[in-house]
Amino acid sequence: MRPTVAHSDEVGRTTRTTPRRVVNRLNDLDGKQWLPFQKSWFRDHPAVHEECIRFFTKRLRADGTPSVVLTLAGTPAERAVGEAATAAGRRVVVWPTKAAPPPERLDCAALAGQWESDRPAAQPPADYVLVDLRGRLPSLSVLRTFLQRTAPFWSALSQSDVLRERGYTTVLIDNWQQDGALVPVAWELARYLGGRLTLKDEKIGCRLPAEPRQTPHFETDGRVYYALNFRREPARSQEPFTGRWWPEVGKHGPRTTDYRPLTGPRLCSWFVPRPPPREPGKLTHPATYPETLVAEFVARCTQPGDLVFDPMVGTGSTLLACRRMGRRGFGVELNPEYAAIARRRLAAAGDTPWIARVVEGDARRLAAVEGVPPQVDYCITSPPYWDMLNMRGAMTQRGRRQRGLHVSYGDDPRDMGNVADYGQFVDALVEVYRQVAAWLCPGGYLTVVVKNVKKQGTIYPLAWDLAAALGDFLQVCPERIWCQDDVKLAPYGYGNAWVSNTVHHYCLTFRKTC
């Protein structure tokens, strides 16, 4: 396959070029083999280690010797990583080379003492680093102890004599949950390593769903894990991570006494919606989510007759889903055109005994919006993904322009999709949800559909930053991942760098505990 590639390897823009032969400096894959790995989620399989190794390395270096894969001693998958490297024709180096105990019992002083003495004097720098920590770090305190004791390993990865320039590091790790609260081990590790290497995006590993069962609180079956991919850059760019450390579970008081009743079994931690084709009115809006997604959360978090709120209702997907399920809905929308479309869609849905209302207003000033109810039972919404729709050159923008559809939310300065500064944008979102939290009934839930964004090669962890900020006044529940399987993939960075096609979204759920 001779791929058509983007001129830039890491900017979220695609410029069509005439198909040409590309020298693949990263691995030995052709374009057809390269493309599936760029999808930002994947179904788990036994050859995950080998797949990563084959993508991030060539079998042979320029000097004809096998590429070197480095891994951390003492991890449960140390042997599996070594076997995968051997199967791929690479050489594995375990560091430190002396036997080490499991991660949570690593001795920092002993590890540091082994560091230089255990490394062969003529050892070339590694071409790739792969560490599998899945199932080993069940709490933030265990993670922090582990990072403290293995700090020499992670710090050394930023050095040219340990990992080659532009060499990649992959860490496989999972988040945990406790009594309906998220324990974001993977996200915190990403922040920690983001101070040493450059995060180039995350991939989501999806395991087969577990058997459904009833739970008194919002939780998932925990069947996802993260493949965090970092790169050692010749010069570090400005770090977008907030550096925010998460509190231990238990910050928000009792976990068992103030739950609103939930309906049905716990939800799967990942899902692939199969919505029907969007009708013309909904297509006008440049970023919508499917009603089937809303329906799953509404069915779990509410009872018939409950009032569901969406402060950024767009063209009305939330309210349509609620109306069809026998819930009342109330939505606020800044853009008059979208509000009118939402009303038309609700009217076309036919008469029902339930009430669904759309009013025009600014989500940042909900107290000034006419008719906002004094209390709501549940809120589900999706904010702008920062100002990403204002970036020019995307293939999707060109296609929408050709069909006469909107490519952004408009130029209203009140629209948060027009806020250029990332920190100001996150702060504005937090204030919106602080207002929503005041309207939520005790024990009520809020779900925000959002994703991390990539802008000019830099990752801005919007979902993680938003969850951490809202965790100051709401309990953060286990995440769900919306996986898209109907988006055409593009071979960004072919032959040069890994640039994912981000086709997963976070469904972040929060609970009001007071």
Domain final position from 231, 256, 284 = 231
Please check whether residues 368 and 460 belong to one and the same domain.
Answer: yes
Please check whether residues 274 and 382 belong to one and the same domain.
Answer: yes
Does any domain span residue 219?
Answer: yes
Residue 385 pLDDT: 77
Instruction: Decide if pLDDT at 503 tops 50.
Output: yes
* Distances 282 to 310, 315, 317, 385, 412 between C-alpha atoms, Å: 16, 6, 8, 18, 20
Residue 484 · residue 503 · CB < 8 Å: yes
Task: Give mean pLDDT, residues 484-489.
Answer: 88
Residue 34 pLDDT: 93
* Distances 224 to 172, 179, 249 between C-alpha atoms, Å: 11, 18, 20
Please check whether residues 217 and 285 belong to one and the same domain.
Answer: no
User: Is the Cα torsion angle 364, 239, 467, 201 positive or negative in sign?
Assistant: positive
Highest mean pLDDT among 95-99, 444-448, 459-463 belongs to 444-448
Instruction: Decide if pLDDT at 36 tops 90.
Output: yes
Phi then psi for 72, rounded to 5 degrees?
-90, 130
How many other CB atoms sit within 10 Å of the CB of residue 428? 16
Higher pLDDT, 256 or 426: 426
Please check whether residues 277 and 227 belong to one and the same domain.
Answer: no
Does any domain span residue 5?
Answer: no
Query: How many domains, the chain?
Result: 2
Higher pLDDT, 437 or 108: 437
Residue 61 pLDDT: 95
Task: Give mean pLDDT, residues 454-459.
Answer: 84
pTM: 0.87
Tell which residue, 462, 468, 42, has the closest CA to residue 226. 42
Residue 169 pLDDT: 97
Does any domain span residue 456?
Answer: yes
CA 136 to chain centroid, in Å, comes to 21
Tokens, residue 54: 């084959």
Domain final position from 184, 209, 231 = 231
Instruction: Decide if pLDDT at 111 tops 50.
Output: no
The domain that holds 418 is classified in CATH as 3.40.50.150
Please check whether residues 324 and 421 belong to one and the same domain.
Answer: yes
Instruction: Decide if pLDDT at 185 tops 90.
Output: yes
Instruction: Decide if pLDDT at 45 tops 80.
Output: yes
Tokens, residue 126: 């590694």
Please check whether residues 220 and 311 belong to one and the same domain.
Answer: no
**For the chain, percent of residues with pLDDT exceeding 70:** 77
Instruction: Decide if pLDDT at 345 tops 70.
Output: yes
Task: Give mean pLDDT, residues 77-95.
Answer: 94
Does any domain span residue 214?
Answer: yes
| 507 beta partners | 449, 480
- Which alpha helices (DSSP H) does 88-159 contain, by range? 108-118, 140-149, 151-156
Residue 247 · residue 188 · CB < 8 Å: no
Please check whether residues 199 and 306 belong to one and the same domain.
Answer: no
Q: Which residue has the tokens 């759920």?
A: 509
Helix pair 462-470, 422-439: axis angle to 10 deg? 40
Domain range for 282: 270-511
Does any domain span residue 248?
Answer: no
How sure is the predictor about 444, in pLDDT bands with cuts at 50, 70 and 90?
Answer: very high
Residue 241 pLDDT: 45
How sure is the predictor about 248, in pLDDT bands with cuts at 50, 70 and 90?
Answer: low
Higher pLDDT, 70 or 456: 70
Please check whether residues 124 and 50 belong to one and the same domain.
Answer: yes
Tokens, residue 378: 């549940």
Please check whether residues 336 and 219 belong to one and the same domain.
Answer: no
Q: Find all residues with CB under 8 Å of 8, minimum gap 6, and list them.
A: 457
How many other CB atoms sit within 10 Å of the CB of residue 243? 9
Residue 458 pLDDT: 85
Task: Give mean pLDDT, residues 354-358.
Answer: 84
* pLDDT tens readout for residues 393-422: 554 555 545 555 444 456 667 777 788 889
Does any domain span residue 470?
Answer: yes
Domain final position from 231, 261, 289 = 231
Instruction: Decide if pLDDT at 110 tops 80.
Output: no
The domain that holds 74 is classified in CATH as 3.40.50
Instruction: Decide if pLDDT at 123 tops 80.
Output: no
Tell which residue, 308, 358, 351, 304, has the closest CA to residue 336. 358
Does any domain span residue 30?
Answer: no
Residue 388 pLDDT: 65
Residue 20 pLDDT: 62
How many residues does this entry show for the chain? 514
Please check whether residues 498 and 374 belong to one and the same domain.
Answer: yes
Please check whether residues 51 and 168 belong to one and the same domain.
Answer: yes
Residue 392 pLDDT: 60
Does any domain span residue 31?
Answer: no
Higher pLDDT, 458 or 353: 458
- Average pLDDT for the chain: 83
How sure is the predictor about 329, in pLDDT bands with cuts at 50, 70 and 90?
Answer: very high
Please check whether residues 78 and 189 belong to one and the same domain.
Answer: yes
